[in-house]
Amino acid sequence: MVILTIRKRTAGLGLVFILALMVLGISSYTMAKHPNMDNWKKERILIDKVETDKNVVALTFDDGPHPQFTPALLDVLKKHDARATFFVMGNKAEAHPRILKRMAAEGHEIGNHSYSHPDFNKLKKEAQLEEINKTTAIIKKHSGQNVALLRPPGGYLSYDLIEMSKKQNLIIAYWTYQQDSKDWRNGTKPSTISGHIIKNIQPGQVIIMHDGCPNGMATVQAVDTILTHLQKEGYTFVTMSELIKIGK
């Protein structure tokens, strides 16, 4: 009788332990990667890199425009005659329409990074769609560009988001895993950012950086080094939509 009780208790604890492990495992998995991500890549509704033997890559910049960092970055890109893609936030774009106009005039692509960068996990489908559509309209109004790319905040993915993106003719613009230098982290030095990117460079990559974060000036300096170094190695820098076409 006593033995039986102990066994029951042990079994119960074991079950709780296993359940806890499962919950932890599932939550860390979805944070890192959506279980259907590989299928969306195959469908090409989600792009994180392309296959090409040409030395061509796409530089992408998130969370701007920023009134100081973004114009400084545009100067650097102009100096090297390089094209890039800016995943702007709608509310910042509204505040700095002239920066959007300049991006478009200088041959850069503007993508959608939501209106206010909320946690999409906490938003209903309708609210997510509003964040997206509002931003698409702002980009069109200030740059004249038809938005083709959506980079969801924090890389959020769901079946609903993919359905909405298909309906809006938006491709989910992910980034190449090896090329996330975490440049946005405060205090990350320009040499650390450029070193990471130069070391990991491969044709067809989508490189993620941030012009809209407080560490943005380090990113701008890093881009100058990256372009100087990689253009000497024969690399060309195109917009993400151009890269996707090259990869087909």
Question: Can you tell me the distance from the alpha carbon of 173 to that of 9, in angstroms, rounded to the nearest whole number?
Answer: 50
Q: From residue 33, how far is each of 67, 107, 155, 209, 232 by CA, in Å?
A: 33, 32, 9, 19, 35
Q: How far is the CB of 114 from Zn ion (least distance, A)?
A: 8
Contact 204, 243 (CB under 8 A): yes
User: Does residue 210 carry a catalytic annotation?
Assistant: yes
User: Does residue 142 carry a catalytic annotation?
Assistant: no
Q: How far is the CB of 12 from Zn ion (least distance, A)?
A: 43
Which listed residue (196, 210, 211, 224) is catalytic? 210
Please give the radius of gyration of the chain, using alpha carbons only, rounded to the nearest integer: 21
Q: Which is nearer to Zn ion, 63 or 183 (CB)?
A: 63
Q: Which is nearer to Zn ion, 65 or 203 (CB)?
A: 65
Q: Which is nearer to Zn ion, 55 or 156 (CB)?
A: 156
Q: How far is the CB of 135 from Zn ion (least distance, A)?
A: 12
Which listed residue (48, 62, 63, 183) is catalytic? 62
Tell me the DSSP string of 64-88: ---TTHHHHHHHHHHHTT---EEEE
Q: Report the interface residues with Zn ion, using CB under 5 A.
A: 62-63
Tell me the DSSP string of 208-241: EEESSSTTHHHHHHHHHHHHHHHHHTT-EEE-HH
Tell me which DSSP letter residue 150 carries: E
Q: Which is nearer to Zn ion, 62 or 131 (CB)?
A: 62
Q: How far is the CB of 171 from Zn ion (least distance, A)?
A: 17
Catalytically active residues are 62, 210
